[in-house]
């Protein structure tokens, strides 16, 4: 277990931030830096087939040590970190025996991780936390998942008397920009089913997620010298703001929870002549997901009728779908994970993901893949933290799943 934490602290120092604006795959070459480290570690654990391919996917196999046939199980985590915040020069801080008080992350900038703002911290009194230094994200999403899988594999390698079937491992690039499964070779991977280790707080077990679409909007204006602009100028920025104001104000992430979907403006850049904006659309239910996409298109159509055809160009592209329909026919994989948690004294928290994982797309590609906790909180930002004891429990859950399927 101590090796697992050491690995994690090393992984987070390797910058693997992905780039949604890149046309290459993976979107950033620096993801190969972590891939190389992982292949080396897997080979040191005598997983001889460990390799990274040209697209940045790391795969490896721990062969069965049993005489009978049992399911081949895959465990998957992603290597990239979110483009929402810097992943360069990550300097993790370790808080031992947390007392339930404010944690000063950065004295110079007076950045404080406080239970007043993040009440979940109170759950970890007496535990060991790993936090940021207030200037970057931590990268527990999803380097904690990688470390936890590696911890389980190391345990099995070092304890050959523990019986297990064939275990497949995959570490993927570009999950954070929605492309993590683009080139994933399910047939080559060869698992009967899998688990992504990419959830949040201890106990999370998820087999439902958002349906997701990305929206790219370009507004074309007309720039005229402001002194002679009357009845001539068309300000693309103002039209872009008008479009945003026409979307339902209560259907934004900051006002929604549970199964409620949303529209989110993720980027806006422009001038009088041209403005580009990006949105994401999320909803758990197919009907309301389609309604949200239709509302976006209707809003664009209305503004084009108001300002002239082709004033606004829109591209709405589906990204992934709710994996529930692919998991329900094989619910034993969820039930087994739930039993595994209970047997290692973790209380299962079964809920829908307000987001997505590689597992959502993989489930539609023929690899049913629910999601299991890593133990982290506040992903994608400077207030990110993870509990060491929760990381240990994640590894125990992985090992217990393997044990249950080996009986």
- Its sign, for the CA torsion 238, 239, 240, 246, is positive
Cα 356–323–256 angle (5° rounding)? 50
For residue 58, report the phi and psi dihedrals to the nearest 5 degrees.
-100, 125
Structure tokens of 283? Answer: 């909803």
E strands present in 229-374 = 262-270, 274-283, 312-320, 349-350, 371-373
Could you give the CA distance from residue 294 to residue 300 in angstroms, rounded to a whole number?
10
Q: Which of 15, 41, 80, 208 is catalytic?
A: 80
Radius of gyration of the chain (CA): 23
| Contact (CB, 8 A) for 79 and 180 | no
Structure tokens of 222? Answer: 């007309």
Question: Does the N-terminal peptide bond of residue 26 adopt cis geometry, omega within 30 degrees of 0?
Answer: yes
Q: Which of 175, 206, 283, 384 is catalytic?
A: 175
For residue 344, report the phi and psi dihedrals to the nearest 5 degrees.
-105, 20
Catalytic-residue membership of 175: yes
The residue among 198, 243, 238 whose CA lies nearest residue 370 is 198
| Contact (CB, 8 A) for 217 and 277 | yes
- 253 C-beta neighbours (distance < 10 Å), count: 14
The DSSP secondary structure of 285-309, one letter per residue, reads: SHHHHHHHHHHHHHHHHHHHHHH-T
Q: What number of CA atoms fall less than 13 Å from residue 88's CA on the CB side?
A: 4
Cα 243–246–248 angle (5° rounding)? 130
The residue among 296, 315, 285, 387 whose CA lies nearest residue 346 is 387
Question: Does the N-terminal peptide bond of residue 49 adopt cis geometry, omega within 30 degrees of 0?
Answer: no
Could you give the CA distance from residue 132 to residue 355 in angstroms, rounded to a whole number?
23
Catalytic positions: 80, 175
């Amino acid at each position: 277990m101590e090796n697992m934490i050491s690995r994690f602290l090393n992984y987070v120092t390797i910058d693997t931030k992905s780039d949604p604006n890149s046309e290459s795959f993976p979107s950033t070459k620096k993801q190969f830096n972590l891939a190389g480290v992982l292949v080396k570690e897997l080979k040191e654990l005598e997983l001889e087939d460990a390799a990274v391919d040209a697209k940045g996917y790391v795969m490896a196999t721990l062969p069965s040590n049993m005489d009978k046939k049992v399911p081949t199980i895959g465990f998957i985590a992603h290597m990239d970190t979110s483009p929402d915040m810097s992943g360069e020069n990550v300097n993790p801080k370790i808080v031992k025996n947390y007392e339930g008080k404010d944690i000063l992350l950065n004295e110079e900038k007076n950045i404080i991780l406080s239970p007043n703002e993040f009440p979940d911290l109170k759950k970890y009194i007496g535990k060991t936390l790993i936090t940021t230094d207030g200037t970057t994200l931590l990268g527990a999403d999803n380097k904690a998942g990688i470390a936890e899988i590696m911890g389980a594999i190391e345990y099995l390698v070092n304890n050959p008397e523990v019986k297990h079937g064939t275990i497949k491992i995959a570490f993927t690039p570009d999950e954070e920009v929605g492309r993590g499964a683009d080139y994933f070779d399910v047939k080559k991977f060869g698992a009967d089913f899998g688990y992504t280790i990419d959830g949040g707080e201890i106990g999370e077990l998820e087999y439902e997620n958002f349906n997701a679409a990305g929206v790219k909007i370009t507004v074309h204006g007309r720039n005229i010298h402001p002194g002679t602009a009357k009845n001539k100028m068309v300000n693309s920025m103002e039209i872009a703001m008008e479009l945003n104001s026409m979307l339902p104000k209560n259907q934004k992430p900051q006002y929604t929870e549970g199964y409620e979907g949303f529209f989110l403006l993720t980027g806006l850049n422009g001038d009088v002549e041209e403005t580009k904006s990006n949105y994401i659309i999320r909803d758990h239910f197919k009907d309301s997901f389609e309604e949200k996409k239709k509302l976006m298109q209707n809003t664009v159509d209305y503004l084009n009728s108001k300002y002239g055809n082709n004033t606004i160009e829109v591209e709405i592209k589906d990204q992934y779908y709710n994996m529930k329909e692919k998991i329900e026919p094989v619910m034993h994989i969820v039930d087994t994970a739930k039993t595994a948690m209970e047997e290692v004294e973790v209380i299962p928290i079964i809920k829908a993901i307000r987001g997505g994982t590689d597992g959502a797309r993989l489930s539609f590609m023929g690899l049913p893949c629910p999601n299991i906790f890593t133990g982290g909180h506040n992903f994608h930002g400077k207030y990110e933290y993870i509990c060491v004891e929760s990381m240990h429990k994640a590894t125990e859950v992985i090992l217990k799943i393997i044990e249950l399927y080996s009986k």
